[in-house]
Structure 1
Amino acid sequence: MVAFVGRTQQLATLDALLASVGPINHDPAPGQCLLIRGRRRIGKSSLVEAFVDRAGVPAVFFTASGAPTDIELEAFTEAIRSSSLPERTVFDDAAPGNWSAALRQLASVLPDDQPSVVVIDEVPYLVDRADAFEGILQRSWDRELSRKPMLLVLIGSDLSMMEALGSYGRPFHQRGKEMVLGPLNPAEVGEMLQLAPAEAFDAALVTGGLPLICAGWRPGTDLWQFLSAELSNPVSPLIVSAERSLAAEFPDSAMGRTVLSAIGSGGRTFTNIARAAGGISHSTLTRAAQVLVDKRIVAAELPVSTTASKERRYRVTDPHLRFWLTFLAPHLAEIERLRGDLTLDRVRTGWTSWRGRAVEPLIRESLARLLPDGGLPAAPAIGSYWTRSNSVEIDIVGADREPVAKRLLFLGSIKWLENSAFDDRDLVALQRHRTAITDDPVPLVAVSRSGTSAAGLSAAYGPAELLHAWQRSSGGS
């Protein structure tokens, strides 16, 4: 059950939807539909497989592959033939020639007197490759499938496409509920790996909360023991998961991979990214960056303050992918030569600097889940602030909206070092930066891995308090 630590709420949602499937003689449209989206290798398919296994009802599970339509239809037919649907032998006698016929035939073999489950995994492949698949699915759902006591589960890793599938103006609008499956959160990672709060955040950064990677971390061992073991195995999930995900995301876009690598290696501004990507043109970079943002792989952020700014910065949203792009991707050849020890030395050298930047978005999200708490109010927006020259950088900016706020609610600094507390010098620096963006006595907050010794702060948080924020909301990440 490793993959389902922290998935209690999602399993309960699936159970409730199946329980709400109505008897066919009492409800004119007893069927239910759920659209599940989440990035690759997050455990979507495994979650639904576990649900189907424990539901104990007739079910079929089909996974699209992006193949031509005739091959997909053949695989769909075979999935039904090998399923637990009681009338599945109908597909032995008549193989459908198109998706409209396939879904109509599927509806004819679904039981009328008991619930059933139909799962279509990687739906974006079908939307992308099969002509008018969305319209075909909508008509089949309205006319046949929804009239059966069944739960239809549609799964996809292309976040933007899955989000669009149920949006206004699209054929399947308002026909299904939606579930977003995220990674295991830091509290779930810490519980699974039996780690103290600070170490749980380290593990969350390296694994990205991906269940498959976490499964290779022996509970109770520290970060460096884990990395030493994984880097000595060229086919470990830590090494191969990101590469496989990117190959699926960008099968035909070398430029998308190039720009992503530039961002992952530390390029944050448009100019720096263009330089790291080999001096590509402004228009090419703009298009590639927009694809990455649309796919939710990259975030394009603006400073949060009471004045508008055009100083946009880019970052990789998945911390594991960020770790992989920085430390592993450039050195895969040496890992394959079984010299992962060299890679490990490189990680040790750059770890503190990399972690200090990578942990910031996770800390801001932790605060968003924690507040209001004591000296700080809840903030509709929690971001950061910077200038073009980086002469002023504020790690935490709580505001009433973003990026241009009407009111700043608090400002803060993050110091995430093992043996260095947030002290009076850090507070003075934060106060100086506050005067650069506001004349108001906005409350100040410190977040420190090693405690706080400065007086005059409105609030201070460490790893334990931040982790508690995730424990309170565990299950819905």
Structure 2
Amino acid sequence: MPKFIDRINEMATLENEYARDGASFVVIYGRRRVGKTALINHFCEAKSAIFFLATEESESDNRNAFKNLVSEMFDNELLASASLDSWAPIFKSVAEESEKKRIVLVIDEFQNLGKANKAFPSIMQKIWDEVLSKANIMLILCGSLINMMTSQVLNYDSPLYGRRTAQIKLKQIDFSYYHEFDKTLSPDEQIQQYAVTGGVPKYIELFDRKKDIYSSIRDNILSTSAFLYAEPEFLLQKEVSEIGSYFSVLKTIAAGNHKLSKIAGDLGVSQSNLTSYLKNLIDLDIIEREVPITEENPEKSKMGLYRIKDNFITFWFKFVYPNRSMLESGKVQFVLDKLKKNFVDNHVSYVYEDICRENIWELLSEGVSFNRVGRWWGAKDIEIDIVAYDSTGTDMVFGECKYSNQKKGMGVLMALQEKARHVNWKKDTRKEYFVIYSKSGFTDELIEYAKQKKNVFLTKIE
């Protein structure tokens, strides 16, 4: 049985909604495989729940399946024998049953009902207003197609807008919980697996208990029959048209082109033609536009860079998509050997930076004050892996992340201190702190120096 890990805040939200006096209406959405159904199933344990999975069949087929499910759940022979051309009698039957006890009513892949009948959100709105909102029911609408869930349920112009009492956009599990999936993995093995799977539970399960990262990559991704071989196509094909154009954009970003001008130049298109693709990918939570953390007007900043947010999608577009012709012709070992030469330096080291940025919040316990964390870059290609600061105070943290097999010494700290001079935020009044993350530890000289300085921290991800 798959492990249920993290989701503490999400479970608290659901339990609060369950405890609400009267009806509640929760929307749960997020990309496929991220664990929405597992979250709902875990929450519904020991509760009276109806779980209906909407399919891509016709509206009448779905309605009939829902009728059969409800009649069977409540042993309602009258409903079972009824021939219905509307949804209302089925929901009324659930509402009547809720007079005896609170019922959790889940409609999973809700967007399929809207695809079958564009008017279904209006139908659902009327059912909520006239039936379910007056019952002892917790309604959960869940969906994987982010664009459709947004348009059908969350947008201002949706008939269901304003009805929900809570919403959860389910994201991937943070690295800090990764060790709970397999406690036998070393920190370094966890980092390398996380660099491929991200925090997607389904992907993590595939790699579970497998020590050799390259064998896992070969068996689960590079093989043309593997579960993850064509996963990005599956994730995107129902969200966008022109999937080839979106793949070209993602391949270009994964190759290291992050500026709008460089992406457009690499693709041979104008920047204006590119913006709609980038906006859609941002809306789908696949990429993000990032600016230096100290920028005061991010939307107007000319320093914006586009990055893929998902470790697996980044990995796939770096190492799988460009080599698909070879993989299709059976040259798996050749592609794997090529991957091994670039995996650590060109992929894991960047994911390590993300992990360190997530970990930096632990410095709050050391008395350092900050409320913003991110990257910083400026002119002359100067980049700082981590910058954290207190927007209402004067503390500022500068961090460097080194994923290599050599211990790091004074040179790394001095280089970081030099780069920090280029950051202008409260330059004359701020209190500076410096953090070095190193996979392989530190030299005795740097350790001794840090002991003498209260503003220098040396950290390993354990």
The 8 Å contact of residues 107 and 148 in structure 1, kept in 2 or not, is answered as no
**Whole-angstrom distance in 2 between the partners of 1:157 and 1:58:** 21
- Does residue 125 of structure 2 align to residue 107 of structure 1? no
- How far does the alpha carbon of each residue in 1:97-133 deviate from its partner, in whole angstroms, 9 at most, with x for none? xxxx314542234413233332222334545664354
The answer (yes or no) to whether the contact 2:67–2:80 under 8 Å persists in 1 is yes
Closer, same or farther: CA 323–396 of 1 in aligned 2, 3 Å: same
- Distance (Å, rounded) in 2 between the aligned partners of 1:215 and 1:265: 28
Distance of 2:359 and 2:67 partners within structure 1 = 44
Q: Cα deviations across residues 393-414 of structure 1 (Å, max 9, x unaligned)?
A: 111111235xxx9866211111
Residues 7-55 of structure 1 deviation map (CA, whole Å, 9 limit, x = unaligned)? 466456545644x376xxxxxxx32222112221112123324544x33
Establish whether residue 305 from structure 1 lines up as the match of residue 300 from structure 2. no
For 2:394 and 2:238, the matched residues in 1 are separated by 43
Measured against aligned partners, the alpha-carbon deviations of 1:238-293 in whole angstroms (never above 9, x if no partner) come to 323333112232245543332122212322111221133x2112211111111111
- CA–CA separation in structure 2 for the residues paired with 1:298 and 1:306: 19
- In 1, the alpha carbon distance for the partners of 2:237 and 2:196 equals 20
Offset at 1:88?
Answer: 7.1
User: Shift of residue 166 of structure 1?
Assistant: 4.3
Contact 1:448 1:461 in 2 (8 A): yes
The correspondence of residues 155-174 of structure 1 with structure 2, limited to 5 A, is: 155-159=142-146, 162=149, 165-166=153-154, 171-174=160-163
Q: Residue type of the partner of 2:417?
A: Q
Unaligned runs of 5+ in 1: 23-29, 465-477
Letter of the 1:106 counterpart: F
Which residue does the alignment assign to 1:473? Answer: none
- Match runs of 1:61-80 below 5 Å: 61-65=52-56, 71-80=58-67
AA of the residue aligned to 1:424: M
User: What is aligned with 2:270?
Assistant: 281
Distance 1:32 1:238, change over 3 A: same
Indicate yes or no: 2:344 matched with 1:357.
Answer: no
Most deviating of 162-171 and 435-444: 162-171
5 Å matches for 1:235-250?
Answer: 235-250=225-240
2:374 counterpart SS class: strand
1:347 pairs with 2:339:
yes
Answer with 113-122 or 295-304: which moved more.
113-122
CA distance in 2, matches of 1:376, 1:400: 9
* Correspondence for 1:422: 408
Q: Which moved more, 1:8-17 or 1:322-331?
A: 8-17
Question: Given residue 57 of structure 1, which amino acid in structure 2 is its aligned partner?
Answer: S
SS at match of 1:41: coil
What residue in structure 1 maps to residue 457 of structure 2?
Answer: 459
CA distance in 2, matches of 1:307, 1:58: 47
Rounded to whole Å, the distance in 1 between the matches of 2:271 and 2:432 is: 39
CA-based RMSD of the aligned residues comes to 3.0
Residues 267 and 106 of structure 1: is their aligned pair in 2 closer, same or farther, counting only changes over 3 Å?
Answer: same
Residue equivalent to 1:147: 134
Give the whole-Å Cα distance in 2 for the aligned partners of 1:393 and 1:15.
Answer: 43
Q: In 1, Cα distance between the equivalents of 2:265 and 2:308?
A: 17
Give the Cα separation in 2 of the matches to 1:384 and 1:279.
29
Q: Is 1:258 matched up with 2:244? A: no
- Match of residue 335, structure 1, among 324, 327, 342: 327
1:26-175 to 2 correspondence within 5 Å?
A: 30-52=22-44, 54-55=45-46, 57=48, 59-65=50-56, 71-83=58-70, 84-86=72-74, 87=76, 90=79, 92-96=81-85, 101-103=86-88, 105-110=90-95, 111=97, 112-127=99-114, 130-159=117-146, 162=149, 165-166=153-154, 171-175=160-164
The alpha carbon displacement at 1:421 in A equals 2.5
Partner of 2:181: 192
Aligned to 2:419: 433
2:458 maps to amino acid = A
For 1:209 and 1:43, locate their aligned partners in 2 and report how far apart those are by CA, in whole Å. 10
Aligned residue-pair number:
439
CA distance in 2, matches of 1:168, 1:223: 45
Q: Distance in 2 between matches of 1:291 and 1:35?
A: 21
Instruction: Give the counterpart letter for 1:427 in structure 2.
Output: L
Cα distance change, pair 396–236 in 1 and its aligned pair in 2 (3 A): same
TM-score normalised according to structure 2 size: 0.84
Alignment partner, residue 165 of structure 2: 176
User: Structure 1 residues 88, 267: CA separation in 2 closer, same or farther (over 3 Å shift)?
Assistant: farther
User: How do 1:227-242 and structure 2 match up within 5 A?
Assistant: 227-231=217-221, 233-242=223-232
What is the SS of the residue equivalent to 1:445? strand
Q: Is the 8 A contact 1:381 1:398 kept in 2?
A: yes
Aligned sequence identity (%): 25
Structure 1 residue 295, shift from structure 2 partner: 1.7
Of structures 1 and 2, the one scoring higher in RCO (CA 8 A, sep 6+) is 1
Q: Quick check: 1:318 aligned with 2:310?
A: yes
Alignment match, 2:5: 5
The 8 Å contact of residues 193 and 207 in structure 2, kept in 1 or not, is answered as no
Q: CA offset at residue 183 of structure 1? A: 2.0
Rounded to whole Å, the distance in 2 between the matches of 1:435 and 1:12 is 44
Contact 1:232-1:341 within 8 A present in 2 as well: no
